[in-house]
Every structure is written in structure tokens, then in C-alpha cells.
Amino acid sequence: MADVIVKKTEFLNGEVCAPPSKSYTQRMLIASALSNGNSKLSNPLLAEDTEATLRAITAFGSRVTQSEGCWTVTGVESLTNSKEPINCGESGATLRFMVPVAALAPDPSLLLFNGSLQRRPIEPLVKSLYDLGSKVHLKKQGNKDAVLVEGGGILGGQTSIPGNVSSQFISGLLFACPLAKVETEISLTTPLESIDYVKMTLEVLEQFGIRIDVYDNFDRFVIPANQTYKSTDSIVPGDFSSAAFLLAAAAITTSAVKINDLNYESPQGDKAILGILSEMGVEGKVCDNSVEINGTGNSLEPLILDAKNIPDLVPIVAALACFAKGTTQISGAQRLKLKESDRLAAIHAELKKMGAKVTLKPDGLIVEGETPLRGTSINSHNDHRIAMACAVAALRAEHQTTILNAASVRKSYPQFFNHLSSLGAEIVGGKFDR
């Protein structure tokens, strides 16, 4: 059953492991594929988006042997081209990372995208690759958007690109340009947003022996040419972006919940959820490799949030704000209009259905808290973060809530409803893990 019923739940208790990071899994897979030799990836995430990345790297000649808890990636010194189109699914990261990588292959490649390139734009990346000597064309393949990459290698040189559309553009170039023929310099025309995702990319590249010189507070990158990826073994850390939903569920109920495999020293930007919960008055404890939340079920404190660098937290913060004793203001989130759904409009519409007082702004939301929520039928908008945020809000709503197309959580956190149920939430359905 693709729909899930969430019933009002007053108490949560127990502990679960945070899901592995989707972002790290994808980055480590690509770096492993560009290395000559075997790289072991421990604790990888198996979800729709990471499966898309697996399809992409194997299409260019890498081999992946999967066993429980470990994937072994055999990289290739020289990429080969797939005779068949490469299906990137609905993974914007896979598409944006692999288009520059595809330019390194000797012949043309066709990458298919199940989503809309109007919603998940790629044109700035196409322009930068053109500056660097590679030709990329946007087209249609049946009812899917497609990107044709001519291949033949990346020359290198200078390019400029906006930093406020998608940090994935910069990460994609950082993966491919170390293998360019001459040095590459990337200058940002606007300040970089979601900067921690680029830091994550740089961390993975360093693990694989790649040098990137960063200048002017991440406004300029200089990438030496003709570098060599060195195969290495990596461990995927737990994901703060996904764990944020469980932490929020504990915060709005009477709870004693522990989420394991969360390392606060990780450069993940979405660990900011811990500071947000603290500011909202939630009692918690950060341990070496876990986070504990002790929820009281009482009203939270409102907050003012600039989400410029943490846009993925906006849906769950909006849900939390419904239980605050005052008005919460969220700004700097205009890029959410270009995600799997228009996330600002989607979370606004669905929380209003539940009775929340929410105002939609061009770059954010205003939420007036302490308005009783009621169960209803929720449209997930085929967006994993909308489904999970509304499921959390439903824990405090009168009667039951039905999350339609809840299987969208397979994109990043297939076990979400299983984990929430194991902590005591009353849930019908939701077994989406493999």
C-alpha cells in the first residue's frame, strides 16, 4: 500500500540508527568510480537516489559488488560510454554530478531524468561546461527530459557560475575538472548557498587524493589538471537531514528517544537541526555518536530562521513551528521552489489542510503556532520531505492522517515509517524498505 495512516501519538520511546547519508553515499560512489582499483564503501544507503547513482557509474564502466553493509566499487582509469540511455531517475544530484563526469568519456552519452528540468534546472552547469570545452545539449527522449553530453574530455580553463541556484553544479564540476587537460578556475557570480554540501564534496575528494584550492570564502575554486583519483575505503556517516524528522517527532511528543550513528563533527549542514531544537526549548543531549531527545509534549518556543544554507530543514521546521507558542518566521528558502516539488507551496498547502495558520512568502513561511491540528488526507506531492514532515505533524493532530503516495520516502529514507513505528508511533502501512 503506497498510502500510510498516521494516528495521534502521545508517547515515543526507544532508539534507532540514523539512516546512512544519501549525500555521502552518492559522492563516495562517484569518487570510487573515478579511481583506478577497488574502493570499499561501508554503511551505504540503499534508496532510489543512490540506486540512480549506481546505475550511472556502472554505465560508464565501473563494477559494483553489493553485500550487506558494504559495496565494493571497481573504478576505471578511462571511462567507457553506455550504448543505452542512462536513467538518473528523479535524482537531481545524480544528474548534476554525472553530466560533467560524462563529459570525460570519449563518446556521447544520453542521461535521462524523470523529473522536470524546469523544476530542477541544469542550464548554468551546461554553460560552464561549454566554457571549459565540453558540449552539452538539453532535449526530450519520449516523455522524459534528457541531457546529451558529447564527451571527448574537458579542456579546462575559466568559467563562472551562480552559487545560489544549486550547490550541486559546483560539486559536479569539482568531481570532473581534476581530470581536465589544463587547470580549471571556477568563479561564483553570487554567494554560495548550501555551502556545507560543497564542503562535503571537498572532504570526499580529499579522501580520494584530489586537490582543490578554495579562495575568497568559497567564491573561487582552482583545480589543478591531470590529477589521479586514488582508491580508498570509506564509511558513510549517519544522515542529519533524515534524522531531523525523528528528532522533531521526539520534540513534539512526550519522549525519550535516542538516534545513533550521528556524529556532530561531520560537516553536514543539517546538523543545524540540533541548534534549532535547542532554540525552541527542546531538551536534548549530543553524545559522541548519537543524539538524545527528551520531549515534554509542551509548547515549543518560536524562532526566526534564515534557511539559506539549510533549505532541506524547512519542511520539518515548519511542522515544528505549528506547536510553538508564538510566530515563527522562515526566510531565505526561495530555492525550495526548485526541488522535487515547490516545497514552500507544498508544505504551506498541506499544513493548512491540517488547520495550521501558515502564510506563504516569496522566500519562506510565517507560522502562527498553537493552533490545534486535525487529521486529514495529505498530498505528499511525490516529495519525500513533505511526506515525512506531515507525518511528524500528524502525531499531534486529532484523529488520523492519511499520507498519500507515502512511498516517496524511498527516495532518501525507505525505513522512515518503520523507524517511527518502532519508537511507538501508531502507523498503518509504510513498509517501504527492501
Q: Which of 312, 342, 363, 433 is catalytic?
A: 312
Q: pLDDT tens digits for 155-198?
A: 999 999 999 999 999 999 999 999 999 999 999 999 999 999 99
Q: Please answer whether residues 302 and 259 qualify as being in contact, where contact means their C-beta atoms are separated by less than 8 angstroms.
A: no
Question: What is the average pLDDT across 27-38?
Answer: 97
Q: Give me the pLDDT at residue 434, please.
A: 59
Pick the CATH number of 4-19+238-428 from 1.10.2020.10, 3.30.420.40, 3.65.10.10, 3.20.20.150: 3.65.10.10
Residues in the chain: 434
Element (H, E) at 130: helix 123-131
Looking at the predicted structure, is the pLDDT value of residue 405 above 90? yes
Report the candidate in 300, 366, 281, 357 with the shortest Cα–Cα distance to residue 328: 366
Question: How confident is the model at residue 136, as a pLDDT?
Answer: 97
Share of the chain above pLDDT 70, in %: 100
Q: Was domain 22-235 assigned CATH 3.65.10.10? A: yes
Task: Say what the pLDDT of residue 408 is.
Answer: 95
pLDDT category at 252 given cuts 50, 70, 90 is very high
Whole-model pTM?
0.95
- pLDDT value, residue 338: 81
Q: Which of 140-149, 211-220, 364-373 has the lowest mean pLDDT?
A: 140-149
Around Cβ 118, how many Cβ atoms within 10 Å? 8
Q: What is the mean pLDDT of the chain?
A: 96
| Whether the domain at 4-19+238-428 and the domain at 22-235 fall into the same CATH topology | yes
Q: With a cut of 70, say whether residue 433 has pLDDT above it.
A: yes
* Whole-number Å distance between alpha carbons of 185 and 160: 8
What does the alpha-carbon distance between residue 352 and residue 349 come to, in Å, rounded to a whole number?
5
Give the start-to-end residue ranges of the domains of the chain: 4-19+238-428, 22-235
Local confidence band at 431 (pLDDT 50, 70, 90 cut-offs): confident
Cα 409 to Cα 49, 54, 65, 235, 389, distances in angstroms: 11, 19, 25, 23, 11
| pLDDT surpasses 60 at 322 | yes
Is 239 labeled as catalytic in the residue annotation? no
**pLDDT, tens only, 260-308:** 999 999 999 999 999 999 999 999 999 999 999 999 999 999 999 999 9
